[in-house]
Amino acid sequence: MYMYELLVDYFQIPEIAHDYIPLFLRSEEIAAIEKMGRALYCPEKLRDLLSDITGDPMGLVSEAYSRSVFNKAEDGDDACFQAAVFYDRLAYFAQYEPELWKSIPKERRALMDTWYVEKYASGARGRLEEALRDNSRLIENAFFFTLDETLKIIDDLDGDPYMVPCNCKSVAMNCDKPRDVCILFKKGINSQWDRGHGKPLTREEAKDIIRFANKSGLMQTSEMESAICNCDGCCCYPIRASRLIGAKGLWPKKVYDVVWDEKSCVGCGKCAKLCNFGAFRQDGLNITFDPEACWSCTICSGNCPVGAISLERI
């Protein structure tokens, strides 16, 4: 019998990751998951169950929760726990243990990245269809927002934002665009905040990160309630999943048409450098715009030094 047979089943670890299990999970976590299976355990039972693995069972639980190896089922001191699954753990691992993630050979990381985006896309398809059917529901990263609209979302927030490393760029590592740009608001159970992560931000700090991201070629997406994402076109799972399921224009939703005034353009090439989809291109002094390639993310518009790119609300 394969030594991790039970673990692989309970933690739903794909075969491409089997060789690296001891990097993703500590030996005590492996033993705990093998005992817990997929059942939910409340603190008293969990203490008994894990007491022959460690002298500090609740310490193990708290660390495993912080590492997204366990999930919480409810809030409070008596919260019950269940083993998470590999899909939950992978993003945390890449976000918070980047050196370990980088120690896995590039080709194997690429396979796990593809597995992750395909799994994400298959789950997102149903959520998007539901959101399109029912106007009161929104999928994550539902809209592209302009810089001003994004700053207003921060001004209108009820609570305080916090920043975490972008999980898509941490897993995919397809570019070297800024990673400390993921601004979250949700602090409830199973949020990164509740797991002990995140740098608290003032609203001004959050707005500075967004302005910096916009100038760096990162696109602002949000559904307004849980996060402001500053996304690229090569790592971002929502954008890549949207491509996979053919949802360009619907997710993140296109709100503006982009209009290029070729006569005003001075050929600086800034739009071509910023665009994540190659819609603006520069060939020597020649600039071209392909509206079919444009996702209407809007970042080129505010960054054009002569205002040659305008937005028309749809």
Q: Give the C-alpha distances (Å, rounded to integers) separating 113 from 70, 94, 99, 174, 183.
A: 22, 11, 16, 10, 22
Three-state SS at 133: helix
Of 83, 84, 182, 247, which one interacts with ligand SF4 (CB under 6 A)?
182
CB of residue 305 vs ligand SF4: minimum separation in angstroms? 6
Which window, 61-69, 101-109, 124-132, 291-299, contacts ligand SF4 (CB under 6 A)? 291-299
DSSP string, 157-217: -SS--EEE--HHHHHH--S-S--TTEEE---STTSTTTTT--EE--HHHHHHHHHHHHHTT
Torsion of CA 213, 215, 221, 227, to 10 degrees: 30
In the window 231-260, what residues touch ligand SF4 (CB under 6 A)? 231, 235-238, 258
| Structural tokens at position 178 | 């800024």
> Considering only residues 130-169, where is the footprint of ligand SF4 by CB under 6 A?
141, 166-169
Q: Select 4 or 295, whichever has its Cβ closest to ligand SF4.
A: 295
Asked whether position 33 contacts ligand SF4 by CB under 6 A, the answer is: no
Buried b (16+ CB within 10 A) or exposed e, 51-72: eebeeebeebbebbbbbbbbbb
Retrieve residue 209's tokens: 């990160």
> Which residues lie closer than 8 Å to 263 by C-beta, 6 or more apart?
none
> Which residue, 64 or 258, has its beta carbon nearer to ligand SF4?
258
User: Exactly one of 32, 153, 173, 271 binds ligand SF4 (CB under 6 A); which one?
Assistant: 271
Contact status: 308 vs ligand SF4 (CB under 6 A): yes
Choosing from 114, 249, 267, 314, the residue that interacts with ligand SF4 (CB under 6 A) is: 267
Q: Find where tokens 């707005």 sit.
A: 207
Shortest distance in whole angstroms from residue 150 CB to ligand SF4: 12
Least distance to ligand SF4, CB of residue 152, Å:
19
Instruction: Report in angstroms how near the CB of residue 83 gets to ligand SF4 at its nearest.
Output: 24
Stretch that binds ligand SF4, among 31-39, 48-56, 110-118, 300-308 (CB under 6 A): 300-308
User: Whose structure tokens read 């993310």?
Assistant: 297
Among 69, 230, 247, 252, binds ligand SF4 (CB under 6 A): 230
Taking each helix axis from N to C end, the angle separating 27-36 and 43-50, rounded to the nearest 10 degrees, works out to 120
Mention every residue, 6+ apart, whose C-beta is less than 8 A from residue 199.
162, 163, 164
Measured at the CA of 51, the angle between CA 46 and CA 54, to 5 degrees, comes to 115
For ligand SF4, the closer CB: 62 or 226: 226
Answer yes or no whether residue 274 interacts with ligand SF4 by CB under 6 A. Answer: yes
Shortest Å, Cβ 19 to ligand SF4: 26
> Is residue 311 within 8 Å of residue 260, measured between CB atoms?
no
**Which residues lie near ligand SF4 (CB under 6 A)?**
141, 166-169, 182, 229-231, 235-238, 258, 265-271, 274-275, 277, 279-280, 287, 294-300, 304-306, 308-309
